[in-house]
């Protein structure tokens, strides 16, 4: 009998880890298959609606409308934004008798419209999370209460954890499962093969240092692994030219399936761009008087990437370290706000606060089911990359700052191997693969049952190197 079928029939679900935390989801009304198939109970959802409106020609709300359909504006309900229904000149909703653009219906009036508009103005002002006004959204949240968890080390040495949580299905719908997954390389340490003075091949850390050690300096004794698969940079001198991180620079990835939808982890951001045309969006003001900071998160100017904007002593000369520090302060203020040491309070809400105070990534402290108040459950992390040697090209990670929203942290001093316990915490922000939905998970885990993947396979490169007697870098030891 198929072992998975046997487990399902006997109720013998693996429980390889103790997992706690919270989940938050924003389901896009116009593209979510979960919403389209009415699979979940959304009676307690927070509704965000600043996109879809009343269609006067059809005398109905647009199909993906997620706002209130009766009554008017109520600052204390679970709707943010919306629109009012209108009647035609005949006083009804029959499009055959004319466009429904006349009197408001259902006790709705201009004051209600002003209330909706004020709420939408707050959403439309968001800088990083502008996706919330691209559609109507249903916001749901819950505590992490897994019924199944699976941990393993795959044949490439990656640590993988998958967690299953039961969701509250809609009346008459099939039971719905939510699972999230992450995969990280616990031995992540990019290196390069070089030749020393004696002509021997040696391996050295890429950019001169262990990346995990550099990333983890301020992580309270933890090792942090960013889920950076899929991260890319856009050439600041040519927006049509971009490049992705190579495989050896990727430390992790996350996947999730929430009810009917599949999600991938949001990768590292190396800039702020308009998704429609990759044009640069503002993320700060240049403290050194060189205009607004847009597009790539550059610590030093792309002109003279090695730091010399012009020759020392000449007009326009800018010290690279001074520029890097000033640009970091600007990025930090934009992303983290008041949490920054040199916070520049320009009255604009930070990207981190957008997620918590506006979009509701907080614990449900009053248990009313609404994303309205509680402990913040989202944060961004910024890496300056100032430890990397700066060269004269814009490619590579030197000279670029980066913003993270997805990562795994492991407690330092642990051994990641079969039979070992592994403790850590996680924050993963996912984007829908075929929808505009977003998903966030955050919490802690302890893996108590860790085994090798018995269905794994050998890496072809390793097999061929062994067959041909051509070990990587001549067999030199790793740094």
Across the chain, what does the average pLDDT equal? Answer: 90
- In terms of Cα–Cα distance, which of 452, 437, 430, 407 is closest to 179? 430
Asked whether residue 454 carries a pLDDT value surpassing 60, the answer given is yes
Asked whether residue 15 carries a pLDDT value surpassing 80, the answer given is yes
Q: What is the pLDDT of residues 354-381, one digit of tens each?
A: 999 999 998 765 554 444 556 889 999 9
Q: What is the mean pLDDT of residues 396-414?
A: 96
Q: What is the pLDDT of residues 257-268, one digit of tens each?
A: 999 999 999 999
Query: Distance of alpha carbon 440 from its chain centroid, rounded?
Result: 8
Predicted pLDDT at 134 = 97
| 304 vs 56, residue with greater confidence | 56
Q: Is 71 within 8 Å of 90 (Cβ atoms)?
A: no
Asked whether residue 432 carries a pLDDT value surpassing 90, the answer given is yes
In which band, very low, low, confident or very high, does the pLDDT at 190 lie, cut at 50, 70 and 90? very high
Predicted pLDDT at 312 = 47
Asked whether residue 10 carries a pLDDT value surpassing 60, the answer given is no
Compute CA distances 458 → 91, 253, 338, 453, whole Å: 72, 20, 49, 11
Predicted pLDDT at 7 = 44
How buried is residue 52: exposed, middle or buried, by Cβ count under 10 Å (0-12/13-18/19+)?
Answer: buried
Compute CA distances 149 → 4, 244, 370, 407, 447, whole Å: 14, 32, 27, 19, 9
Predicted pLDDT at 96 = 96
CA gap 434, 33 in Å, rounded: 9
Strands 46-49 and 79-81, bridge-based pairing: parallel
Asked whether residue 281 carries a pLDDT value surpassing 90, the answer given is yes
Compute CA distances 315 → 191, 220, 301, 308, 311, whole Å: 40, 44, 16, 12, 8
Asked whether residue 119 carries a pLDDT value surpassing 80, the answer given is yes
Three-class DSSP labels, 377-434: CCCCEEECCCCCCCCCCCCCCCCECEEECCEEEEECCCCCCCCCCEEEEEEEEEEECC
> Whose structure tokens read 């390889």?
16
Predicted pLDDT at 278 = 86
Predicted pLDDT at 12 = 66
CA gap 425, 379 in Å, rounded: 13
Predicted pLDDT at 364 = 61
Asked whether residue 415 carries a pLDDT value surpassing 90, the answer given is yes
Task: Read off the tokens for 78.
Answer: 């679970």
Within 82-186, residue ranges assigned H as helices are: 110-124
Please state, for a pLDDT cut of 90, what percent of the chain lies above it: 71
Domain-by-domain residue ranges, the chain? 52-133, 188-432
CA gap 56, 40 in Å, rounded: 30
């Amino acid at each position: 009998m198929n072992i998975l079928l046997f487990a399902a029939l006997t109720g013998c679900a693996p429980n390889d880890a103790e997992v706690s935390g919270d989940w938050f989801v924003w389901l896009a009304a116009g593209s979510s298959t979960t919403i389209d198939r009415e699979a979940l109970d959304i009676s307690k959802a927070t509704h965000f609606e600043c996109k879809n409106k009343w269609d006067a020609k059809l005398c109905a709300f647009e199909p993906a409308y997620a706002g209130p359909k009766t009554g008017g504006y109520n600052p204390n309900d679970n709707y943010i934004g919306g629109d009012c229904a209108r009647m035609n000149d005949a006083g009804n909703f029959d499009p055959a008798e004319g466009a429904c653009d006349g009197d408001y219906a259902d006790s709705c009036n201009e004051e209600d419209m002003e209330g909706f508009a004020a709420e939408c103005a707050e959403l439309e002002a968001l800088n990083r999370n502008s996706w919330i006004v691209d559609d109507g959204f249903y916001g749901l949240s819950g505590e992490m209460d897994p019924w199944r968890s699976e941990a393993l080390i795959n044949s490439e040495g990656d640590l993988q954890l998958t967690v299953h949580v039961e969701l509250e299905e809609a009346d008459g719908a099939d039971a719905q499962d939510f699972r999230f997954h992450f995969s990280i390389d616990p031995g992540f340490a990019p290196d390069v093969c070089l030749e020393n003075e004696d002509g021997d091949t040696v391996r050295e850390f890429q950019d001169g240092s262990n990346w995990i050690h550099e990333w983890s300096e301020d992580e309270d004794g933890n090792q942090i692994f960013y889920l950076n698969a899929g991260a890319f940079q856009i050439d600041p001198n040519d927006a049509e030219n971009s490049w992705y991180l190579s495989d050896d620079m990727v430390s992790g990835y996350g996947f999730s399936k929430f009810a009917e939808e599949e999600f991938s982890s949001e990768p590292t951001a190396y800039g702020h761009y308009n998704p429609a045309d990759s044009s640069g969006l503002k993320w700060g003001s240049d403290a050194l008087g060189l205009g607004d900071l847009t597009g790539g998160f550059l610590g030093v100017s792309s002109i003279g990437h090695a730091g010399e904007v012009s020759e020392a002593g000449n007009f326009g000369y800018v010290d690279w370290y001074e520029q890097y520090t000033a640009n970091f302060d600007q990025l930090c203020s934009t992303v983290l706000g008041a949490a920054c040491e040199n916070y520049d309070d320009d009255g604009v809400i930070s990207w981190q606060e957008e997620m918590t105070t506006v979009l509701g990534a907080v614990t449900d402290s009053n248990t009313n089911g609404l994303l309205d108040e509680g402990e913040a459950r989202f944060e961004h992390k910024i890496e300056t990359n100032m430890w990397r040697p700066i060269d004269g090209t814009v490619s590579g990670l030197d000279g670029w700052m980066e913003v993270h929203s997805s990562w795994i942290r492991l407690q330092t001093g642990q051994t990641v191997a079969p039979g070992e316990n592994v403790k850590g915490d996680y924050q993963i922000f996912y984007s829908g693969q075929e929808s505009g939905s977003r998903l966030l998970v955050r919490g802690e885990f302890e893996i108590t049952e860790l085994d090798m993947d018995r269905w794994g396979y050998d890496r072809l490169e390793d097999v061929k190197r062994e067959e041909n007697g051509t070990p990587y870098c001549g067999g030199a030891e790793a740094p």
